[in-house]
Amino acid sequence: MNMKILVVDDEEDVKSLFEQKFRREIRGGQFEFSFAFSGEEALEYMQNHPSEVVMILSDINMPGMSGIELLKRIRSEHPSAPPQVMMITAYGDAANHDQAMQLGADDFLTKPVNFNELKEKLLLL
Amino acid sequence: MHFIVAFFLIQFAHSAMQHTDKLPKWDNFFKYARYYTFALLAIYYIARQPDMFTWVWNLSLLGLLWVFYKEDDFLTIRSTVQSIVPFVGVSMLSDLVELLFPKFHKSYDDIFGMAILFAWIFCFVIWFYARKQQKVLSQERRDRLRDEEIAREQKQSLEYLVAERTQELTQQKEELQKAIEELKATQNQLIQSEKMASLGELTAGIAHEIQNPLNFVNNFSEVSVELCQELEEEIDKTGIDDNDKDYIKGIISDLSQNQQKITHHGKRADSIVKGMLQHSRASSGEKEPVEVNALADEYMRLAYHGLRAKDKEFNAALVTDFDTTIGTVNVLPQDLGRVFLNLFTNAFYAVAEKKRKLTEAGQLGDYKPEVKISTKKFDNKLYIRVSDNGTGMPEHVKAKIFQPFFTTKPTGQGTGLGLSMSYDIITNGHAGVLEVDTVEGEKTEFRITIPIA
């Protein structure tokens, strides 16, 4: 089974980090990662690849469209075949967490990301 | 006739002198002058009224006049005294004429007698006039004296008023000065806390900015270690010569160790950044009822054993003086725990340092490291004191200890965030006060005061 995951972060190095961290899983065909470096790019990607993405990992603090804004748009524009959305932020305070969960996030992670924990969570899906 | 003139002249001069301060000087003179006139009068009658006696009278009067003219003390009555000059003159002229031309005198006896009488009357008219004037003068003088008295009284009451006002003003000035000093102190405190707050914000801001790149460093170095392991496994699958294989594995092992070093130091930086972030973190959790004594005791032991684990030699007496009536107090337990941990860690460090320095100098003597905690509940306030008999601090160190990143510990042993965070937790988190008292080389005492509702 091939799970399609879209990672949204303004830091481009996230791409190589994920690709290296999940090297085995990608090689084994368990995960397939796509990357978007802004909220706008993420929405465009979803427009071009409808109903493909199963999981979205998004940063909250990004220039332009924030992760929270992206989450709102995803929930309003893609009501059918809704992807799972996991928010990742450096600001792990309760207000941020509550807002994300209220807007329909499925999970909430704080930076620095514990990749082992993330791996387990992704494998459970 | 002459007697009456002399008598009244003396009387007049005497009474005139009474208004001046020269009287004591002339008192005796008037007394003897009076006796002298009476004596002359007596001699005149005893000697059966000899004619030549008027010469004695006239000379005596001239003498008196001469005294009044000579002495400046009689300046005021001089003009009045002059009134007897015509009398004496006429009288002497009459006697002289009688002596030299007895016939001529005899034929004009009446005229001489009349002239003397007029001169005599003239004397008394002038005197009465002078007396009257003197009375008016003395009345004026009395009035002036009374006015002066009133003026003096007014002056006195004014002076009293001025003194009163001056005292009031002085008091106000002192109060104002005190107020200014208090204001200055408050301003200093404000500046200090403002500095702390802005430093805290700055610290947090820097921490956030550093955290993201630091995460990449840590993540990439970690993943590189994994890659090295993978590479090592893959190498075994190839048919490379064993010697070459070992050489390559050696390089991979070095690379892996380097990555581990990067991870290690990255983690160190990460823990500093985490400490910095704890500054800005909005109050973590809720206040809850906590046994403060138990909390303090727990962290005291924690800090002690933490140090013991690093330094087996270390030893210190733990003295507790708990107020058992405190019970539970609403505090942020984790935050207050951090404060205790910081204060105790510092206290143990200070006594350990002192012991080390004394040992190095060979002056250990009977130094016994001691760290003391005392708590007290009083007047709706919780007082906590953490004291040690360690190295103490000089004034310039004491002034900076609550600033973030200020540390006296060697590099790598302290972040300089412990006390600044403790200050933040006590002042902002608990609306309390954190103060320090220290004597360099002898002791340090941290005092926490927290209001309990």
Task: List, for residues B227-243, the tens digit of each pLDDT value.
Answer: 999 898 888 888 888 88
Q: Are B360 and B446 in contact (CB under 8 A)?
A: no
Residue pointed to by tokens 């590099």: B411
The stretch B105-127 carries a mean pLDDT of 81
| Cβ–Cβ contact B229 with A under 8 A | no
- The two tokens of residue B289 are 């009822």
> How many angstroms separate the CA atoms of B126 and B355, rounded?
113
> How many angstroms separate the CA atoms of B449 and B324, rounded?
17
Q: Give all domains of chain A, ordered by start, each with its CATH number.
A: 3-124 (3.40.50.2300)
> How many angstroms separate the CA atoms of B69 and B79, rounded?
10
> Is the pLDDT reported for residue A114 higher than 50?
yes
For residue B412, what pLDDT is reported? 67
Exposed, middle or buried: residue B273 (CB in 10 Å: 0-12, 13-18, 19+)? buried
Confidence of residue B453 (pLDDT cuts 50, 70, 90): confident
The stretch B170-182 carries a mean pLDDT of 94
User: What Cα–Cα distance (Å) separates residue B40 from each residue in B10, B51, B68, B95, B364?
Assistant: 14, 14, 20, 18, 116
Contacting residues of A for B281, CB less than 8 Å apart: 93
User: What Cα–Cα distance (Å) separates residue A34 from each residue in A37, A55, A58, A66, B44?
Assistant: 10, 10, 12, 19, 160
> Is the pLDDT reported for residue B132 higher than 80?
yes
Asked which of B7-16, B56-65, B258-267 is least confident by mean pLDDT, the reply is: B7-16
User: In chain B, positions 417-446, which contact chain A (CB-CB < 8 Å)?
Assistant: none
For residue B282, what pLDDT is reported? 47
- The two tokens of residue B216 are 């990449």
User: B388 Cβ partners below 8 Å, 6+ apart?
Assistant: B347, B348, B350, B351, B369, B370, B371, B372, B443, B444, B445
The stretch A19-29 carries a mean pLDDT of 89
Which of A72-86, B268-282, B330-344: highest mean pLDDT? B330-344
Identify the residue with better confidence: B248 or B310: B248
| Cβ–Cβ contact B322 with A under 8 A | no
- The two tokens of residue B287 are 């206040």
Exposed, middle or buried: residue B289 (CB in 10 Å: 0-12, 13-18, 19+)? exposed
> How many angstroms separate the CA atoms of B337 and B334, rounded?
5
For residue B170, what pLDDT is reported? 95
User: What Cα–Cα distance (Å) separates residue B136 from each residue in B15, B132, B133?
Assistant: 14, 6, 5
> Is the pLDDT reported for residue A42 higher than 50?
yes
Residue A69 CA, chain-centre distance (Å), reads 13
Residue B320 CA, chain-centre distance (Å), reads 41
> Is the pLDDT reported for residue B193 higher than 50?
yes
* Mean pLDDT score of chain B: 84
Which residues sit opposite B382 in a β-bridge? B377, B450
For residue A61, what pLDDT is reported? 85
For residue B377, what pLDDT is reported? 92
Helix (H, G, I), strand (E, B) or coil at B331: strand
- The two tokens of residue B127 are 């005197």
The stretch B243-264 carries a mean pLDDT of 91
User: B402 Cβ partners below 8 Å, 6+ apart?
Assistant: B196, B419, B420, B423, B434
> Is the pLDDT reported for residue B285 higher than 70?
no
User: B406 Cβ partners below 8 Å, 6+ apart?
Assistant: B400, B416, B419, B420
Q: Please tell me the distance in Å from B278's CA to the nearest CA on chain A.
A: 12
| Cβ–Cβ contact B218 with A under 8 A | yes
> How many angstroms separate the CA atoms of B361 and B129, rounded?
111
CATH of B288-451, picked from 1.10.10.10, 3.40.640.10, 3.40.50.1370, 3.30.565.10, is 3.30.565.10
Contacting residues of B for A112, CB less than 8 Å apart: 211, 215, 218-219, 270
Q: Render A34-92 in DSSP notation, one character per residue.
A: EEESSHHHHHHHHHHSTTT--EEEEES--SSS-HHHHHHHHHHH--SSPPEEEEEES--
User: A64 Cβ partners below 8 Å, 6+ apart?
Assistant: A38, A39, A40
> How many angstroms separate the CA atoms of A50 and A37, rounded?
19
For residue B224, what pLDDT is reported? 92
The stretch B113-132 carries a mean pLDDT of 83
Q: What is the DSSP letter of B73?
A: G
> How many angstroms separate the CA atoms of B152 and B352, rounded?
79
pLDDT digits (tens, 9 = 90+) for B385-430: 999 999 999 999 998 898 877 888 887 677 788 898 888 889 888 9
Asked which of A64-73, B36-45, B366-375 is least confident by mean pLDDT, the reply is: B36-45
Strand A55-59 with A31-36, pairing: unpaired
Q: Are B56 and B37 in contact (CB under 8 A)?
A: no
Identify the residue with better confidence: B110 or A5: A5
Percent of chain B at pLDDT exceeding 90: 30
Confidence of residue A81 (pLDDT cuts 50, 70, 90): low
C-beta atoms of A111 and B215 within 8 A:
yes
* Contact pairs from chain A to chain B, CB under 8 Å: 32
The stretch B94-116 carries a mean pLDDT of 80
The stretch B293-302 carries a mean pLDDT of 89
> Is the pLDDT reported for residue B203 higher than 90?
no
C-beta atoms of B227 and A93 within 8 A:
no
pLDDT digits (tens, 9 = 90+) for B324-382: 999 899 998 888 988 998 999 999 999 999 998 998 888 888 889 999 999 999 889 99
C-beta atoms of B212 and A11 within 8 A:
yes
